[in-house]
Structure 1
Amino acid sequence: MALLKADYPYPVLLPDNDDYVSGCRFSFEIGDAACVEGEYIVLPVSYELVGSMLNGFCSDGAAVVALSVESSSVSYNRLFVFSGDCAESVIKIPRLDVKDKIDVQCLVIAASELKIDGGMSDLNSDYFQNTWFSLEKGDVLAKTLVHTIYLDDTELEKPLASIFSINERVGLDCDLVPMYDQQKINIDVSPDLYRLYYDYAYKNGGVLERFATGAIVFPVLVDAINLIRSRSDDENDARWCRSIIAKCEKLSIDVRSDDVNAATLADKLLGGISLGCMKAFDESANDGVNSGEFVEERSTD
């Protein structure tokens, strides 16, 4: 299976061609439980293959169904073969072997040499009748659409704040300007705000990083939620949109519904950051009092 041929001088079941008759189809989906566990990206995957000829090849062992996983930036390319007639599998991908994104696609691959009669009922007789095809081991018989998973996306492993990029910008006429036209939400902030953010986020071991980030991200996330609600599904295709929608689905919340106030939803998505922030400041103040850093002022009257 190491070699997959790229040219198809024979019938192939694809989403966008008519080599096969109407009704034959091949698709797959990644389950909601996709996540990162330790050193592995875990993908629960299932497929649906409709067509007597291809299913017959798979049942006889003449073909197999496999999941192709590719990360082009690090030349990672591997096939995960489904077991027997089982249409479900859990794929584990070493996290350090891939980078930036992975492209996932399901394939039906010849496991041995095959002869295909172009007059078989699944095939388009207008094209292939009275024609025979000889296939070699490794030839692709069917392909699904490609599903791309971005590895720095919150759909897999990082907190929601990772869809925001906070950047220092000189010359702003206000302290904070968000922009929603890229895959991530870019937030330009004034030098004064960025200096304070940097001090709290990256000094003292980053103890207050979550809350320093949240102070900037929270109002922008409220705005982003309202923006998603005001737009059509086709307009919500940026990675930051998908990430917010996916996080809401895990909370069993429809982000487009007005049943939950946008500010309340933003607080939930950031892990209850309002209460968490106040608790962190309270603990910091108490530590300062105990160390003698803060001295209570008393009246001399």
Structure 2
Amino acid sequence: MKFDSQSAFPYPVLRPDNNDYVGEDFSILYEVSTTNELVIINANFNLTCNAILDQIDNGYAIYGLLVTSNETFEQQFFESEVAVSEFKISSQLLRGRISIEPYIVVKKGIENFESTSINSEFGNGRFSFGSGEILAQGTPSSFSISRDYFKPLQSIVKINLKEELPKGEWSIKLEQDHIIVDVSQHIHNTYIRAKNSKSGQNIMLNSIWFSVIVHAVDVLKKSTDIYGGYIWADVITGKINNLGIDLDSQDSYKIVTTLLNNPLLRLGDIF
């Protein structure tokens, strides 16, 4: 299947920017969440045409969702008998830009189909459809799956040496896909030494990493719409949603403590 609103069919197909059906609509709303094992798409199909809805209700047609990952060459077609559905795909199969295309497809042969919404250009006759034929297509859309979704949360933070900064100073920049932390030469030297040992990594986790991610969560609480398009924001909100945490109901430091799996406990073997 490939979406094309101008493709010619020998029968009416409900599509955007196409007048086969007059005054009707077929679309989809969806949310995507990720775990280490799964990409989960919660879909809500919206169909206004009662004649097609009747075919679904009577078992002659189904909602369909075509999911395609060009980076991994994976393509799966999911079917549902109901308008609100959840679809799960192995996280190993999807990377990069993922396209989704909603359809309504004939499940078993339909005879004598008619609808008052069908354009009069098709005449007054009734239509027959074979299994697998398309009754409706929605507008394609897409989302991104970054490799950072499946890495430790620290992977969304990049340490950047800023030699002109005074000895103990550092700053955070959020206006890009990864959080950039500009640090002085002294802090950078400490970071380089610390990252080469487990104890050093745990100390950094409880200092700079914790502080940076708390700041990021604080910002998301206030400005999700502004930063929502960046990978770091998608990764943090995805992990928060996967843990069933309400972003607005907990303090940021408590949320980050959960996200980092109680990082203070890692200091027990050091002191």
The alignment's TM-score, normalised by the length of structure 2, stands at: 0.71
Equivalent position amino acid for 1:29 in 2: Y
Structure 2 equivalent of residue 181 of structure 1: 175
- Residue 150 (1) aligns with residue 166 (2): no
Deviation at residue 46 of structure 1 after TM alignment: 4.4
Residue pair 2:26, 2:137 contacting (<8 A) in 1 also: no
Q: What is the DSSP-based 3-state SS (H/G/I as helix, E as strand, rest coil) of the residue aligned with 1:69? A: strand
Q: How many residues align?
A: 258
Percent identity (aligned): 18
Residue pair 1:49, 1:55 contacting (<8 A) in 2 also: no
- Residue 284 (1) aligns with residue 267 (2): no
For residues 226-250 of structure 1, the C-alpha deviation after alignment (integer angstroms, 9 at most, x for no partner) is: 333443x532323333443444454
Which structure exhibits the higher relative contact order, with contacts defined as CA atoms closer than 8 Å and separated by 6 or more residues?
2
Structure 1: runs of 5+ lacking an equivalent:
286-301
Q: What is the DSSP-based 3-state SS (H/G/I as helix, E as strand, rest coil) of the residue aligned with 2:236? A: helix
Q: What is the DSSP-based 3-state SS (H/G/I as helix, E as strand, rest coil) of the residue aligned with 2:71? A: helix
For residues 182-203 of structure 1, the C-alpha deviation after alignment (integer angstroms, 9 at most, x for no partner) is: 12212233444334323333x3
Q: What is the DSSP-based 3-state SS (H/G/I as helix, E as strand, rest coil) of the residue aligned with 2:143? A: strand
Mapping of residues 8-87 of structure 1, within 5 Å: 8-9=7-8, 10-14=12-16, 20=21, 24-30=25-31, 34-37=34-37, 41-43=38-40, 45-50=42-47, 51-58=49-56, 63-82=61-80, 85-87=81-83
The 3 A distance-change label for structure 1 pair 64 and 210 is farther
For residues 17-67 of structure 1, the C-alpha deviation after alignment (integer angstroms, 9 at most, x for no partner) is: 7765657444253476x5333xxx252644434332223444566644222
Mapping of residues 205-284 of structure 1, within 5 Å: 206=198, 208-231=200-223, 233-239=224-230, 240-249=232-241, 250-255=243-248, 260-273=250-263, 275-279=264-268, 283-284=269-270
* Partners of 1:153 and 1:116 in 2: CA distance: 51
Equivalent position amino acid for 1:272 in 2: N
* Partners of 1:21 and 1:153 in 2: CA distance: 44
Deviation at residue 140 of structure 1 after TM alignment: 6.5
Query: Greater Rg, structure 1 or structure 2?
Result: 1
Residue pair 1:112, 1:138 contacting (<8 A) in 2 also: no
Equivalent position amino acid for 1:183 in 2: D
The 3 A distance-change label for structure 1 pair 94 and 237 is closer
Structure 2 equivalent of residue 169 of structure 1: 161
Structure 1 stretch displaced more, 264-273 or 16-25? 16-25
Equivalent position amino acid for 2:182 in 1: D
Q: Over aligned residue pairs, what C-alpha RMSD do you find?
A: 3.9
* Partners of 2:228 and 2:112 in 1: CA distance: 41
Q: What is the DSSP-based 3-state SS (H/G/I as helix, E as strand, rest coil) of the residue aligned with 1:222? A: helix
Residue pair 1:5, 1:140 contacting (<8 A) in 2 also: no
Residue pair 2:175, 2:227 contacting (<8 A) in 1 also: no
Structure 1 stretch displaced more, 206-215 or 235-244? 206-215
The 3 A distance-change label for structure 1 pair 93 and 215 is same
* Partners of 2:170 and 2:67 in 1: CA distance: 40
